[in-house]
């Protein structure tokens, strides 16, 4: 297990060097993207329309921040924590095709994402749930916001990060997943403790 500091946009080389269990801190731009954001991106691509950001080397954070405006009318992030990622499982190939190099969320993802991580060269980072205030300390400013009409949680926020984390590599590009490992170990324990009767 290593501790690493990476800066966005992430390179494929950097991402493929990561292994399950590594601890990573990110600096640079991080884009929030939840259910509606993924849907809108897919719609834009299907229409051949321009995307609001360059996603090559991007990090997508499954999160809906609490964003407020200061006295000057500028946005800032008060708290930001991960939302459940499995809802975005259907977009595993789509985000890989965009050139995304990392996802951040909680709860893990499934087989389609494991396969896509290996194929396209991206990883899934587990952010600590319940630590939204602490995670927000790693956000220096709001660079931009798209689709605010979707509401603050579903808008795409471009956040400038500095030492954002800690994030744990939950799925790497080598076919490893801590979530699958936990499920398999759990099944082994159940079978050992409660053997089936022949």
* Residues annotated as catalytic (active site), given as ranges: 38
Answer yes or no: are the C-beta atoms of 102 and 122 closer than 8 Å. Answer: yes
DSSP string computed for 110-160: -HHHHHHIIIII-EEEEEPTT-HHHHHTTEEEEEEEE-GGG-TTTSEEEEE
Sequence length of the chain is 198
Closest C-alpha among 138, 156, 173, 139 to residue 55: 156
User: What is the C-alpha to C-alpha distance for residues 134 and 141, in angstroms, rounded to an integer?
Assistant: 15
Token couple for 96? 């890989």
User: What is the C-alpha to C-alpha distance for residues 93 and 116, in angstroms, rounded to an integer?
Assistant: 6
CB-based burial label for 69 (10 Å; 0-12, 13-18, 19+): exposed
């Amino acid at each position: 297990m290593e501790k690493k500091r990476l800066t966005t946009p992430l390179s494929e080389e950097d991402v493929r060097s990561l292994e399950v269990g590594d601890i990573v801190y990110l600096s640079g731009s991080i884009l929030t993207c939840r259910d509606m954001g993924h849907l809108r991106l897919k719609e834009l691509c299907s229409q051949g329309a321009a995307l609001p950001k360059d996603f090559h080397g991007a990090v997508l954070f499954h999160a809906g921040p609490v964003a407020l405006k200061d006295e000057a009318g500028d946005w800032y992030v008060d708290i930001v924590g991960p939302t459940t990622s499995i809802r975005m499982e259907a977009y595993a190939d789509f985000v890989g095709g965009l050139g995304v190099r990392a996802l951040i969320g909680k709860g893990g993802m499934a087989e389609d994402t494991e396969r896509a991580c290996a194929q396209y060269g991206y990883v899934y980072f587990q952010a600590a749930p319940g630590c939204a205030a602490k995670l927000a300390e790693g956000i220096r400013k709001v660079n931009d916001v798209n689709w605010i009409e979707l509401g603050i949680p579903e808008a795409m926020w471009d956040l400038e990060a500095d030492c954002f984390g800690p994030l744990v590599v939950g799925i790497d590009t080598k076919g490893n997943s801590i979530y699958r490992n936990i499920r398999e170990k759990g099944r082994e324990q159940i079978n050992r403790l409660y053997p089936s009767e022949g």
